[in-house]
Amino acid sequence: MMGISCYAQDVYATVNGEKLTDLDIKPMLKMFDKKNSFSDLNAHEKELILDQSIERKLILQDAKKEKLDTDPKFQQILQDFKNRLMVEFWMKKRLASVQVSDDDIKDYFEKHKDAFAKGTKFEDVKEQLAPRVKMEKFQLLVDETLSNMKKKAKIEFLSDTKLQYK
């Protein structure tokens, strides 16, 4: 049963002896926006999910049999994906570190008062402004971090490259 142990998974079928579990059907559940679990689906939706999950498992088994994971093109795509994912993870980690105080939000409100309808009170827009202020602080943090990284990095441009960092 789910919930008792993070290792316990419901098994819905086996495909060539390989278990089809919650982890296999989870990507397919996204098709049904308002459904969070397999048990929330009606019989027809369950059938669709299981059929597509079985097909996906069969394709994966065949791809493994063909050793597609050793193909240089696959390896390059995998490396590109890992690099993009690392950049995204780096950004999310920095974003999570950004803290926004009431004073930060108040300062933003005061600096941008002209953008609000006359008579707008800080308390009325405070919650709406918090994400905007956080993103602004995040952008400043990233800009400063990247500027420092560029200063410390050894960057060599090719002769035909016009761009130069200062």
Q: How confident is the model at residue 28 (pLDDT cuts 50, 70, 90)?
A: confident
- Decide: 106 and 122 in contact? Cβ < 8 Å: yes
- The architecture of the domain spanning 11-66 is Orthogonal Bundle (1.10)
Nearest CA-CA partner of 112 in 100, 128, 98, 99:
128
Listed range (88-92, 123-127, 135-139) with the worst mean pLDDT:
123-127
Rounded mean pLDDT, 115-142: 94
Q: Indicate whether 77 pLDDT > 80.
A: yes
Helix axis angle, 122-152 to 72-97, nearest 10°: 130
pTM more than 0.75: no
Q: What span, in angstroms and rounded, lies between the C-alpha atoms of 129 and 96?
A: 17
